[in-house]
Amino acid sequence: MIKIIKTFILSGINLVKDKIKAFRIYNLRSKKESDVKRWKENDQLFNDWNERTLLLGSFIQIDSKVIEFGAGNMILETLHFKRYTPTDIVKRNPKMLVCNLNEPITIDLSGYTAAVFSGVLEYVYDIDAVFSEISNNIDQIVLSYCCSDNLNISRIKNGWLSDYSKNELETIFEKYNYRICDETQWRGQTIYHLKRKG
């Protein structure tokens, strides 16, 4: 009986937590703000995400000059690219540059040949604006995205701030003159390897 009561209380607490989180995400979405509070917490970085990031990194030549957006624990540094610059919404490491992709990018991108977005674009409202800012300099992009029409899960529960379909995303790639060189799946997320045409 006590076990049943504990289970009931815990389920009630979890339900309240989920509702508070959903309210916070709806509020962020209504204001088009980033979830800085969440990403200040290091327990939001999961080690199993490294598999996805290393998969993305496998598409990039070792002599590339790489900038990673949403670098988290900087696992790509272990691949020893010619140049590697990690960025994130909060500064987790002295090497890391702060970059909020829901605001204009102020980093000079002219020295980079490749950009990585591993599990970050779901937290970006306007992916078109991001591509607009990077497309003049970056020849190669590798990214993951959980397309809204490919996986039936709660985007609010995951804290995601954008809802692009596969077609909408690929239309952006085409608009900025990127072709899809490789496409695969990772846990229901689409992995894209893009290169500038011509």
Q: 74: left (phi > 0), else alpha (psi -120 to 50), else beta?
A: left
pLDDT tens figures, 60-105: 999 999 999 999 889 999 999 999 999 999 998 999 999 999 999 9
List alpha helices for 32-165, DSSP H.
Answer: 36-39, 49-57, 127-134
Nearest residue to 147 via CA among 165, 131, 162: 165
pLDDT at 21: 65
The percentage of residues in the chain with a pLDDT greater than 90, rounded to a whole number, is 67
Contact by Cβ (8 Å): 93, 140:
no
Q: Kindly report, residue by residue over 10-63, the tens digit of the pLDDT.
A: 655 555 555 666 768 777 778 888 988 877 876 656 677 899 999 999 999 999
Give the Cα separation of 100 and 16 in Å (integer): 29
Instruction: Dig out the tokens for 121 from the structure.
Output: 């674009």
- DSSP state at residue 148: T
Q: Which CATH number fits domain 34-196: 3.40.50.150, 2.60.120.10, 3.40.50.300, 3.90.180.10?
A: 3.40.50.150
Give the relative orientation of helices 127-134 and 166-175 as an angle to the nearest 10 degrees.
Answer: 20
**E strand map for the chain:** 65-69, 83-88, 97-98, 114-117, 140-145, 178-186, 189-196
Contacts for 51 with CB less than 8 Å, ≥ 6 apart: 186
Cβ distance 134 to 104 under 8 Å? no
Say if pTM beats, i.e. exceeds, 0.85: yes
